[in-house]
Chains A and B, each alone.
Chain A
Amino acid sequence: MTAAIKRPGWTRGVLGALFAGAFGFGLVIALRAISDLPLYETEQTGYPHVVVPLILAPLGFLAGFGCFDYWLRWAAGAPTIPEDHSQHGAKSWKDYFHFNTDHKVIGIQYIVTTFVFFFIGGLLAMLIRAELAQPGTQIVDAATFNSLFSTHAAIMIFLFVIPVFAGIANYVLPLMIGAPDMAFPRLNALSFWMLPLAGLLFISSFLAPGGAFDAGWTGYAPLSTGAPLGQSFFNLGVQFAGASSIATALNFLVTIITMRAPGMTFWRMPLLVWANLSTSLLVVAATPFIAGAQFMVLFDRVLHTNFFEFAAGGDVISYQHIFWFYSHPAVYIMMLPGFGIISEVISTHARKPIFGYRLMALALIGIVVLSYSVWAHHMFVAGMFSWLRVPMMITTLLIAVPTGIKIFSWLGTLYFGKIHTYSTAMLFALAFIVTFTIGGISGVMLGMVPIDIHVSDTYFIVAHIHFVLFGGSVFTIFAGIYHWFPKMTGRMYDEKLGRVHFWGTVVGTWGTFIPMHWVGMDGMPRRVADYATQFGEWNLLISVFAFMLGAAQLVFLYNMVVSWRFGPRAEANPWRANSIEWQVSSPPPIYNFDEIPRVVGGPYEFGIPGAKHAIMAGEAHEAPAKESTVVGST
C-alpha cells in the first residue's frame, strides 16, 4: 500500500483527487466561517464548496497520477529520475491506462477515449431524436431536453471532434516527419490526461442539483450566468479540454518546426502536417478566448463579477463576441486536420500527386487568416452593431474560396489517376467531398445576411452544422481511422463491414440532416423539445434515419474491436503510400526509426519512375534505384 501511494499511478491519483478536493472544500468552509458567512452557499449559481473542489480535484488527480512528477522534482531541486524509457511503448492493454510519454501510445489513448465520448454523445443524440420523433413531450421534460442537447454538443465538440484529430495526428505526425517522438512528450501525456477529466466534469453534471448544464454548448449569458450548478461543471470542463488543446497545439507547432527529418523542407511536408500546423496556429491563438469566456461566466456565477450582468452595467453581447472569436475558428480547428487526412487518402488511393500541392497548403493558411475575421456572422440577429454585419458577411463568403480550392484540387487529383475504391477510407474521403460541398453551400447561404435573418436559430442551422461537422469532420475522421488502422494496430480491418458502415453512415447522414434544412426554413426553431404538429412527419422520418445512422456506428465499433484483436496481420504498407509512416513496420517500432530517415523529395510522387520521398535506414544512400517507385512494398 505504501509503495502504491509513493508510486505515480491510479492509487496515488485517486488519493490526490480526494485530498485536493477535501482541501478545497475545507478552505471554502474555513474562510466562510471566519468571515461570519453561512457555511454553505446554495444559491444555484453559487456553491463555492462544490466549485472550488471541482477545480482542485482534477489537478490533484493529475499530480497524483504522475503528470507533474518530473517537473516538480526539477523545480524543487531534487534529483530528477533519469529517463529509463519505462514510460515508453505499450506491452499490454494495461499500459494504456498509465501515464505514458510515447506519442504512439498517447495517440491510441486519445483515439479510444474520444470514441468512448463519441458513443456517449451519440447515445444522447438518440435520446434527442426519440423525443423529437413526435410533437409534444413524451420521453423527457423540456428542462432535461435542454440538458441533453447541451451535453451532446459539448461532448461531441470538446471531447470528440477536436481531440480525436489531435489523437490521429499524435500517432501519425511524428512518424510522417521522421521524428522519434513529439517535442514535449511529458506535456503530451499531460494533454491527454486532462481530457477524460473534462469529460467526467461534463457527464457528472447530470448529478448536480438542477440537472446537467442546459444553456446549449454556446452557453450564452445571461442564461448561463443564472443557470443551475451544472453550468459550472461545463465552465470547468471547457478549461481542462481547452488547456489540453492548447498544450497539444504548442507541442505540434514545436514538433513540426524543429523536428522534421533532414531534407524535409516545408514544401516537402505531407498535407496532413500542413493541416496540423495551421490548426495549431488557430488553437494557440483562439482557444484562450473560450477559456476566458467560460472563466468570466464562472466568475459572474460564483464571485459576482458582473461581466455580463446587465443590471450591474455588464454587457450581454460581449459574451457572444468573445465566445465566437474562438468558436468560429474552432469550426476550422475541427475541419483543417480532416482536410489533411483527405489529401493523404485521396492521393494514395488515386495513385496521383496532389493536384496543386502548394496552393493546397496556401489555402490552409488562407483559411487560418480569414477565420479570425468572420466570427460575427453568428450574430447577425444578435443585436450587435449593425455596421459590422456587411464586412463580416463579405469575409465569410470569401472563406468559401480557399475551401473551394481544396475541393477542386482533390477532384483534380483524381483525374488521370488509378482510383482504387477497395478501401473504406477512400469511400469516406469521396463521400466527404459530396457532403462537404452541401455543407459549404448552406454555409455560404447562411453567410448572406438577409437569408441568415430568416433561418438563424432554426433547424436550418442544425442541418448546416451537422453537414459540416458530421458529413464533414466525422467523415474525415472515419477516413483517417480506416486509413491508419493497419499502421496503428498492425491488423487489417474487415472491408465488408467497412462498406456496411459506410453506406449506413452516408444514407443515415443524408436522411437525417437534409430534411432538417426544410423544416428549418419552413419555421421550426432549434433547441425545442416540442414543435408545431405540421413538422411531425418530417421529424419522424429524421428520427428513423438518425437511428439508422446510430446503428451503423455499432457496425464500426464491432469492426474495430474485433479486427484489432483478430484481424489478419497488416503489412508495413498495405496502401502502397509514399509517406514515411508507411515505410516502417505496422505497428511501428518503439522509437519509430533505427536511424532518422533522409527526405529527398515530395510526399506524393506517384507515377514518377525512381522518385522517392525518403530514404530509410538500411537503404542505399546513393541515388534512388530505379527498379521500384513504390517504397517498402514487397
Chain B
Amino acid sequence: MYGRLPIVKMLAATVALTAAICAVMVPINWDGQQASTAAPKIDDLLTVMIILSAFVFSLVMVMLFYALWKFKAKPGDESDGEPIHGNTRLEVAWTLIPTIIVLFAGGYSWKVLDEIEEPVKDPLTVEVFSLQYAWSFGYPGKDMAWSEGELHVPVNRQVHFKMHAQDVIHSFWVPEWRIKKDNVPGITTTAIVTPDKVGTYQLICTELCGFGHASMRAKVVVEPPAKFREWVASLDQKVPEYLSDSLGDEESSLTPVGTGGA
C-alpha cells in the first residue's frame, strides 16, 4: 500500500531540503577561529554531522508535512484511517539504517579523537594550576618558571598541558584550539594541543567554580619559538610551594586512547 505514496517525489523533496539547509549551514564558521591542528579536524567532523543531520531532519520534515497535507481529515469527516498496523520491512529499515549512520559517526569520531590526541616524541610540557579564580602556569627548565594570568606557548609545537586544581574543579578551554579539559583536585589531567597560529586568545574556565567563575579567564599568547624562549627566560618567579605540592599528584590514566594508561 505504500506503493501509493509518491516515494520518489518525497525523496527528491528530502534531498532538496537537505541541500538547502546545507547551503546555508555548511559555509558558516560555527566554532569561530581555528588556531590548532585539532580545530580543522573537529570542524570537518562537525560539517559532516551537519550534512547527515540535515538529511535526517529533512526526511522527518518531509514525512511529517506530507502526511499533514495529504491525510488531514476534511471538516466533518468522522471516519477512521486505514487499519495499518505496521510494515516489517519498513521497521527493519528504520532500525538498521540509523544504526549504520550512528556507527559511521562513532567510527569517524574515534578516528578524529585518535588523531587529535596522537602524542609526538618531544612535546613541550606546561603545568597548569587553577584555583578560585585564577590561572597560573609553570614552564619546563631547571627551576620551573611561573607566570600568572598569562599563558605563552610556541607555535607549531605540540604542548602537553598537565593540569592541577587546588580547590574545586575548573575547566581549561581555549575555544580557538577546540580543546577542553577539567582540572580536578587530587589528580593530574592532561590535554594535548598543537597551536598552529600566532596570536592572542583567551583561556576560559568552563566548569562552575563559584561566584568568580564567569571572570576566571587568562590571556593566551601563541608566538614564534624564539620569542617564547625569551619570554620564559624573562620570568623571574618560580612556582610557589602551595602550587608545586600538587605536582606530585597521582596521574590519572588520561593519556590518549591507544597509548596506554598511567
Q: Which A residues fall within an 8 A CB radius of B?
A: 141-143, 146, 214-216, 220, 222-223, 226, 310-311, 314-317, 350-359, 381-387, 389-390, 393-394, 397-398, 400-401, 404-405, 407-409, 411-412, 414-421, 430, 433-434, 437-438, 441, 444-445, 448-451, 453-454, 456-458, 518, 521-523, 525-531, 576, 605-608, 611, 629-630
Residues of B near A310 (CB, < 8 A) are: 185-187
On whether the beta carbons of A222 and B94 are closer than 8 Å, the reply is no
B67 in contact with A448 (CB, 8 Å): no
Interface size counted on chain B using CB atoms at 8 A: 87
Contact present for A522 and B91 (CB under 8 Å): no
Contact A405 B1 (CB under 8 A): no
Please name the residue on chain A nearest to B214 by beta carbon: A528
What is the CB-to-nearest-CB distance from B94 to chain A, in angstroms, rounded to a whole number? Answer: 4
Residues in chain A near residue B206, CB distance under 8 A: 456-458, 525-526
Contact A414 B91 (CB under 8 A): no
Neighbour of B178 across the interface among A405, A418, A430, A454, CB < 8 A: A454
- Can you offer 12 A-B residue contacts whose CB atoms are under 8 A? A316-B185, A356-B87, A397-B106, A405-B94, A414-B64, A415-B5, A450-B109, A450-B178, A454-B42, A607-B82, A611-B83, A630-B80
In the complex the two chains form, is B30's CB within 8 Å of A522's CB?
yes
**Contact status A525-B254, CB under 8 Å:** no
B228 on interface, CB distance cutoff 8 Å: no
What is B's interface to A at a CB cutoff of 8 Å? Answer: 1-2, 5, 30-32, 38, 41-42, 45-46, 49, 53, 56-57, 60-61, 63-64, 67-68, 71-73, 77-87, 90-91, 94-95, 98-99, 102-103, 105-106, 109-110, 112-113, 116, 163, 167-169, 171, 173, 175, 178-187, 189, 204-215, 252-257, 261
Among A390, A420, A421, A526, contact of B113 (Cβ-Cβ < 8 Å): A390
B67 near A457: Cβ-Cβ < 8 Å: no
Question: Given A142-B213, A454-B31, A531-B214: A387 and B253 within 8 A (CB)?
Answer: yes
Q: A383-B254, A397-B102, A419-B73 are in contact. Are A445 and B5 (CB under 8 A)?
A: no
The answer to whether B204 and A525 touch across the interface, beta carbons within 8 angstroms, is yes
- Taking a contact as CB atoms under 8 Å apart, the answer to whether B85 and A316 are in contact is no
Residue contact A382 to B182, C-beta cutoff 8 Å: yes
- Can you name 13 extra interface pairs (CB under 8 A) apart from A352-B84, A405-B95, A629-B80? A146-B211, A222-B167, A222-B168, A389-B113, A411-B64, A437-B60, A444-B105, A449-B109, A450-B116, A525-B214, A526-B206, A606-B81, A630-B80
A-chain residues with CB within 8 Å of residue B71 when the two chains form the complex: 350, 414-419
Alpha-carbon distance A458/B173, docked complex (angstroms)? 10
A357 to B88, CA, bound (A): 11
Asked whether B60 lies within 8 Å of A451 as measured between CB atoms, the reply is no
Q: A316-B185, A521-B31 are in contact. Are A223 and B168 (CB under 8 A)?
A: yes
**Residues of B with C-beta under 8 A to A317:** 184, 187, 252
The residue from B32, B63, B64, B169 contacting A523, defined by CB atoms under 8 A apart = B32
Q: Do residues A527 and B80 form an inter-chain contact, with CB atoms below 8 A?
A: no
Q: Bound complex: CA of A421 vs CA of B68, how far in Å?
A: 9
A386:B253 contact, CB within 8 angstroms:
yes
- The answer to whether B175 and A454 touch across the interface, beta carbons within 8 angstroms, is yes
Cβ contact within 8 Å between A522 and B173: no
A527 adjacent to B60 (CB under 8 Å): no
Q: Are A411 and B63 in contact (CB under 8 A)?
A: yes
Given the complex of chains A and B, what is the CA–CA distance between A407 and B67 in angstroms?
14
Number of A-B contacts (CB under 8 A): 278
Say yes or no: A355-B86 contact (C-beta < 8 A), given A401-B98, A457-B180, A530-B214: yes
Q: How far is the CA of A415 from the CA of B185 in the complex (A)?
A: 56
Chain B residues with CB under 8 A of A430 = 64, 68
Closest to B41 in A: A450
Q: Which residue of A lies closest to B116 (CB)?
A: A450
A389-B257 in contact given A359-B86, A444-B49 (Cβ < 8 Å): yes
Pairwise interchain contact A142-B212, C-beta atoms closer than 8 A: yes
Asked if B49 and A451 make an inter-chain contact with CB atoms under 8 angstroms apart, the answer reads yes
Chain B contact residues, majority secondary structure: mixed
Closest to A379 in B: B182
Q: Taking each of B94, B181, B253, which has the highest tally of chain A beta carbons within 10 Å of its own beta carbon?
A: B94
CB-CB under 8 A from A523, the residues of chain B are: 32, 175, 204
Whether A383 lies near B60 (C-beta < 8 A) is no
> Which residue in chain A gives the minimum CB-CB distance to B102?
A397
A355–B30 alpha-carbon span in the complex (Å): 38
Assess the B79–A418 pair: CB atoms within 8 A: yes
What residues of chain B lie closer than 8 Å to A449, measured between beta carbons? 109-110, 113
Q: Which of B68, B82, B103 counts the most chain A CB atoms within 10 A?
A: B82
Distance between Cα atoms of A389 and B192 in the complex (Å): 16
Min CB gap B247→A, angstroms: 15
Contact pick for B49, options A401, A448, A528, CB 8 Å: A448
- Check A453 against B178 for contact (C-beta < 8 Å): yes
How near does chain A come to B198, taking the closest CB pair, in angstroms? 19
What separation, in Å, do the CA atoms of A359 and B87 have in the docked complex? 11
Q: Which residue from B94, B168, B179, B252 sits with its C-beta under 8 Å from A226? A: B168
| Complex contacts, A358 vs chain B, CB 8 Å | 86
Asked if residues B81 and A450 are in contact (CB atoms below 8 Å), the reply is no
Of all chain A residues, the one with the shortest Cβ separation from B111 is: A450
Please pick, from B38, B80, B171, the residue contacting A381 in the complex, using a CB distance under 8 A: B171
Taken together as a complex, chains A and B put the C-alpha atoms of A146 and B214 apart, in Å, by: 10
Neighbouring A residues of B261 by C-beta, 8 Å: 385-387
Residue from B60, B72, B214 in contact with A421 in the complex, judged by beta carbons closer than 8 Å: B72
Pick from B56, B84, B179: contact of A355, CB under 8 Å: B84
In contact, A419 and B45 (Cβ under 8 angstroms): no
Please determine whether B186 and A316 come into contact, CB atoms closer than 8 angstroms.
Answer: yes
Say yes or no: A418-B110 contact (C-beta < 8 A), given A386-B253, A433-B60, A451-B45. Answer: no
Q: Identify A352's interface contact among B32, B42, B80, CB under 8 A.
A: B80
Distance A448 CA – B107 CA, assembled complex (angstroms): 10
